[in-house]
């Protein structure tokens, strides 16, 4: 922790960085801290509880726009950052990444190539809980699945916290704010809630890092991250690991295999 | 008047293959179920997945999505993109419990008038067996099932 503080202080002091996105002590869990000065940097922490995805701030032009930015990134946040670079949403030279290894040590990355190598070499943190959810839901008959999801999504009051928490949801104009045509009804009703989730997850296909921030952000505890996790799984099964430029749905392979088109 | 359930089927087809194929079905004087309403699109790649959901919300009991065979797309790759989209979309709907047996995807070329009749007849027969699709529509209606509560709220206190 002290290591991070002193490093960030040094970088902020020498103007190598103008902003550092990290965590500070919160009431229950750590909360985000946008440190712009050495005094701010004194409040930084970084431990195994720092799991919130801070990559979401990197595309916020009002906060980050044009500044040389450092970030404390979890494994999944690093995946997000690589993806955002592939989508030309970030400038490679302008970010400095500090990662937390599974052993709990701090790792400073010099280049994005290092980050990509690290992500390839390091096994992803376990998704066992999510896998079990998906298995359980898959095992239900279709009518029961419908009942499960409609009862879950009937609680949703459309705060769009799932959208706000997601680093990949960076469009300045979202489909739910478009009203010509109005694809998703703006009020909170079960079906339009479901249609919103379908849209969200379809737009995430192959881009989602599967960090689970959407589910964590939901104030009602609706397991929306399970839908995203299922999508990530389907993408992997059908098209392999998403890699490099070009999203899964904007590219194709003439040999894609399905079994339902007659 | 017959009270038997007649399924409403909406077909989203591409202009270059299936629409022409359906035209050929007519000019070949092949009879097929009249439950289908055809919506013409420039390409299967243009068929947004939201259109399928809107069809169900609007009262369709079944949906057909049809276009050119792989490698036959007028725009070279529209149907390849569409195929990828449907692969994920169909899996997602299934995961959420939406009845995917009511969506029929097919490739029908401009020369396959007979195949189009067969696809429509098969879909109509399948959906007829499944019955009307009311679950989805019910969820679409705002405040569905809460009419009593709503009326009570509107009552003026005496």
pLDDT tens track for A190-211: 899 999 999 999 999 989 999 9
State what percent of residues in chain A have pLDDT above 90. Answer: 55
Q: Residue A256: inside a domain, yes or no?
A: no
- Beta strands B36-41 and A19-24 are unpaired
Residue A115 has pLDDT above 60, yes or no: yes
Give the N- to C-terminal CA distance of chain A in Å, as an integer.
Answer: 59
Q: Is A205 on the interface with B (CB under 8 A)?
A: yes
Arithmetic mean of pLDDT over chain A? 90
pLDDT of residue B142: 65
Q: What is d(CA A87, CA A96) in angstroms, rounded to the nearest whole number? A: 18
Q: Residue A238: inside a domain, yes or no?
A: yes
pLDDT of residue A188: 87
**In order of start, what are the domains of chain B with their CATH numbers?**
9-154 (3.40.50)
Q: Are residues A103 and A196 in the same domain?
A: no
Q: Are residues A108 and A142 in the same domain?
A: no
pTM of the model: 0.90
**What are the tens digits of pLDDT across the range B109-151?**
999 999 999 999 999 999 999 999 988 888 777 666 677 777 7
* 3-state secondary structure at position A104: coil
Of B85, B97, B107, the CB nearest to A145: B97
**What are the tens digits of pLDDT across the range A159-179?**
999 999 999 999 988 999 888
Confidence of residue B158 (pLDDT cuts 50, 70, 90): low
Q: Are residues A163 and A116 in the same domain?
A: no
**H or E element, residue B27:** helix B18-27
CB contact under 8 A, A254 and B71: yes
Confidence of residue A52 (pLDDT cuts 50, 70, 90): confident
**Chain A residues within an 8 Å CB radius of B107:** 261-262
Q: Are residues A245 and A170 in the same domain?
A: yes
Residue B6 has pLDDT above 60, yes or no: yes
Residue where one domain finishes, among candidates A105, A121, A137: A121
Is residue A29 within 8 Å of A37, Cβ to Cβ?
Answer: no
Q: Is A262 on the interface with B (CB under 8 A)?
A: yes
CB contact under 8 A, A254 and B93: no
| Across B12-27, average pLDDT | 96
Interface of A with B in 67-126 (CB under 8 A): none
pLDDT of residue B17: 95
Q: What is d(CA B73, CA A235) in angstroms, rounded to the nearest whole number? A: 24
| B56 token code pair | 């169900």
**Chain A residues within an 8 Å CB radius of B141:** 189
Residue B107 has pLDDT above 90, yes or no: yes
Q: Are residues A92 and A138 in the same domain?
A: no
- How many independent structural domains does chain A possess? 2
**Chain A residues within an 8 Å CB radius of B139:** 150, 189-191, 194
**Chain B residues within an 8 Å CB radius of A195:** 50, 53
Q: Residue A199: inside a domain, yes or no?
A: yes
Q: Are residues A176 and A96 in the same domain?
A: no
CA B94 to chain centre: 15
Q: Are residues A139 and A114 in the same domain?
A: no
Of B87, B95, B136, the CB nearest to A145: B95
- Beta strands A106-109 and A95-100 are antiparallel
Q: Are residues A143 and A70 in the same domain?
A: no
pLDDT of residue B67: 95
Q: Is B96 on the interface with A (CB under 8 A)?
A: yes
Q: Residue A261: inside a domain, yes or no?
A: no
Confidence of residue A124 (pLDDT cuts 50, 70, 90): confident
Residue where one domain finishes, among candidates A69, A93, A121: A121
* 3-state secondary structure at position B145: coil
CA distance B1 to chain A (A): 32
Q: Residue A260: inside a domain, yes or no?
A: no
Phi, psi (degrees; rounded to nearest 5) at A13: -65, -40
Is residue B55 within 8 Å of B147, Cβ to Cβ?
Answer: no
Residue with tokens 């449907």: B86
Residue B153 has pLDDT above 80, yes or no: no
Q: Give the residue numbers spanning the domain of A240.
A: 128-250
CB count, 10 Å around CB of A12?
A: 22
Residue where one domain finishes, among candidates A72, A105, A121: A121
pLDDT of residue A91: 87
Confidence of residue A125 (pLDDT cuts 50, 70, 90): confident
CA distance A250 to chain B (A): 7
């Amino acid at each position: 922790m002290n290591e991070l503080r002193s490093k960030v202080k040094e970088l902020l002091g020498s103007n190598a960085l103008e902003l550092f996105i990290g965590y500070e002590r919160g009431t229950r869990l750590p909360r985000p801290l946008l440190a712009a000065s050495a005094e701010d940097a004194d409040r930084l922490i970084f431990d195994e509880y720092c799991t919130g995805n801070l990559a979401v701030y990197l595309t916020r032009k009002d906060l980050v726009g044009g500044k040389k930015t450092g970030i404390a990134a979890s494994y999944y946040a690093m995946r997000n950052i690589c993806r955002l670079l592939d989508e030309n949403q970030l400038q490679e030279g302008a970010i400095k990444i500090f990662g937390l290894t599974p052993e709990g040590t701090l790792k400073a990355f010099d280049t994005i190539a290092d980050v990509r190598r690290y992500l390839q070499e390091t096994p992803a943190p376990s998704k066992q809980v999510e896998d079990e959810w998906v298995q359980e839901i898959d095992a239900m008959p279709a009518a029961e699945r419908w009942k499960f999801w409609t009862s879950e999504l009937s609680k949703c009051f459309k705060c769009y916290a799932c959208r706000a928490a997601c680093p990949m949801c960076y469009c300045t104009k979202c489909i739910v704010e478009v009203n010509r045509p109005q694809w998703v009804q703006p009020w909170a009703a079960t079906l339009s809630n479901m249609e919103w989730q379908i849209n969200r997850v379809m737009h995430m296909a192959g881009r989602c890092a599967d960090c689970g921030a959407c589910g964590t952000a939901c104030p009602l505890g609706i397991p929306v991250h399970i839908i995203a996790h299922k999508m990530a799984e389907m993408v992997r099964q059908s098209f392999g690991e998403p890699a490099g430029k070009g999203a899964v749905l904007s590219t194709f392979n003439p040999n894609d295999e399905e079994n339902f088109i007659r | 008047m017959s009270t038997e359930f007649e399924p409403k089927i909406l077909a989203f087809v591409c202009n270059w293959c299936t629409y022409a194929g359906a035209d050929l079905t007519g000019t070949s004087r092949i009879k097929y179920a009249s439950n289908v309403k055809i919506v013409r699109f420039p390409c299967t790649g243009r068929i947004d997945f939201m259109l399928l959901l809107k069809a169900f919300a609007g009262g369709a009991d079944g949906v057909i999505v049809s276009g050119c065979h792989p490698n036959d797309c007028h725009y070279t790759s529209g149907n390849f993109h569409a195929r990828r989209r449907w692969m994920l979309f169909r899996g997602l709907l299934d995961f959420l419990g939406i009845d995917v047996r009511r969506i029929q995807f097919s490739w029908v070329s401009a020369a396959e008038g007979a195949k189009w009749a067969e696809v429509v007849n098969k879909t109509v027969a399948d959906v007829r067996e499944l019955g009307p699709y009311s679950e989805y529509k019910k969820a679409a209606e705002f405040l569905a099932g809460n009419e009593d509560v709503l009326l009570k709220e509107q009552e003026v206190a005496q």
